[in-house]
Amino acid sequence: MLKRANLELVFEGLDTYSNVFLNDQLLISTDNMFRTWRVNFKRLAKPGANTLRILFRSPINEVLPVMARMNYELPAGNDQGEKTSPHTRKAPYQYGWDWGPRFVTSGIWRPVFLEAWDDARVADLHIQTREIRADIANVTAEVEVIAAARTNATIVLNNLTNKTVTRRSLTLTPGTNRVALNITIPHPSLWWPNGLGSHPLYTFKAQLLIKGKPIDEARIRTGLRSLELRRQRDDTGESFTFVINGVPVFAKGGNWIPADSFPSRITKDKYRKLVQSARDTNMNMLRVWGGGIYESNYFYELCDEMGILVWQDFMFGCSLYPADEAFLENVRQEAADNVKRLRNHPSIVIWVGNNEIESGWFHWGWKERFPASLWDDYRKIFYGVLPDVCASLDPSRPYWPSSPSSNLKDDPESQKMGDLHYWQVWHASAPFAEYEKQFPRFMSEYGFQSFPQLETVATYTEPADREVSSPVMMVHQRHPRGNQLIREYMLREYPEPKDFESFLYVSQVLQAEGIKIGAEHLRRIMPHNMGSLFWQIDDCWPVASWSSIDYTGRWKALQYYARRFYNDILISPHEE
């Protein structure tokens, strides 16, 4: 192997601050959980045994000296401890949330592998649909090749589904080379969201030949479909409608959080069961929420296979962030890595900058408490760096700055345009009937808590703990007013439950009946409103939360109700 011209180590996930040593020599330093790090180690390699050592530093201790030099503390209201999370490119939920514990991890969380190559390697294959009709699809395949020296080469593109081949000869120059190959697919099989049609996938392979010999290849699977986020002016504001293959789609689904506090523990089986549960309850969209992680490739592959549209947030949520040049460049590389990794998935239909930061600035007192320069910093990231990356690397998809947002045309919580998070039900104790007084253009968050069923509670309690306010149960209730609010709403609708198990059961019925009111109303006012994504689908640990599926995978009542209120045909009697 040492005879190869290039020896590279690829780290797909180092969490977060680390120094990587090979044979006691510093190879690379890292500072972003979400980036892929690639480094040539040939100069440090030796015959025989080589020692790779990765030294991780505390993400909290790394930031505390930085914070001590500041005149203010960046808001991070969900951090259950020192408010360090805004300074570190790491999953925000791991610092604690109102449904999850604080486990500020460090370590290797995605694969590490070695690549050896000589003249060139295929770095990327991107399939872009330029035009698609019933009779024809015109597609461009962009192949990215990294070359070590000037050399003649051939790119062979195989459409493995239709059994067609396209070739292009070129001269590679040292560094990055990009070549575009246009192909035509007659009578394409269109990819449709769940409920509107099938979800066929095409497989493409790009092969690199030098002197007629195969050197490297890349293989991807994608779907052919058109996509539009239709934002048209109308009598009440501006629409917010996803249009797939020319058909307006009412988005039915929920919000997705990481399925474990330790994401490396999430198995393929757990991913499949959760995504399949969404499909089997007539959902067609999941929002990958911006306080978690960019999910594994397997998650998106499942969504492709099952016709589940993905609203993809970038990983920023409920905080303000620095905008010095080093931070901006780190964010730029993070965005580029993930956009390039995910852009071939037909399931992904939008890139969204963050979760609730515009709401925080205008409605949580940040504008009054913090320097105006922080709003300038906000715009540098979410109206500068991120849309620039998306426009450059994935112009086929819309970019939206925040959720909720009006794209600065109105209040971020406007019901005239953009998307809306509505939390007066729950946080403000408003009755469920208030859902029917809301007329958003796209409801991307609303929700209500419930407890898991007794079998799940038994996994983290002893019999003596099974009282709603016991110390153990309170540890597994992260919202400071959670139990109080559940009880308050419950007694409006039902008699006092007779025992602990009954309380758990009634909490689920209460949640399901309440969200049913909201979901059916949102469907009744279609096409004014074109989305219903309740909070939330899953849990990262066993807990009282807004989820419809608990940590063990058991469906709560809400998931069963969703199968009915998200049915393709809904009869929803309503008294005006």
The residues that are catalytic are 356
Query: Cα separation of 130 and 137, whole Å?
Result: 8
By three-state DSSP, how is residue 89 classified? Answer: strand
Query: Cα separation of 558 and 509, whole Å?
Result: 7
Range list of β-strands (E), 211-250: 213-222, 227-230, 233-234, 237-238, 241-244, 247-249
Query: Cα separation of 256 and 312, whole Å?
Result: 10
CA dihedral 294, 299, 303, 309 (to 10 degrees): -20
Query: Cα separation of 572 and 576, whole Å?
Result: 12
Quick count: other Cβ atoms within 10 Å of Cβ 119? 19
Burial code of 190-199, b = ≥16 C-beta within 10 A, e = fewer? Answer: bbbbbbebeb
Tokens 């995978």 locate to 553
Tokens 């024809």 locate to 136
Q: Which tokens in the block code for residue 168?
A: 């292009």
Query: Cα separation of 345 and 305, whole Å?
Result: 10
Q: Report residue 463: phi and psi, to 5°.
A: -50, -35
Query: Cα separation of 295 and 312, whole Å?
Result: 10
Quick count: other Cβ atoms within 10 Å of Cβ 263? 22
**Degrees, nearest 5: CA angle 535-563-453:** 65
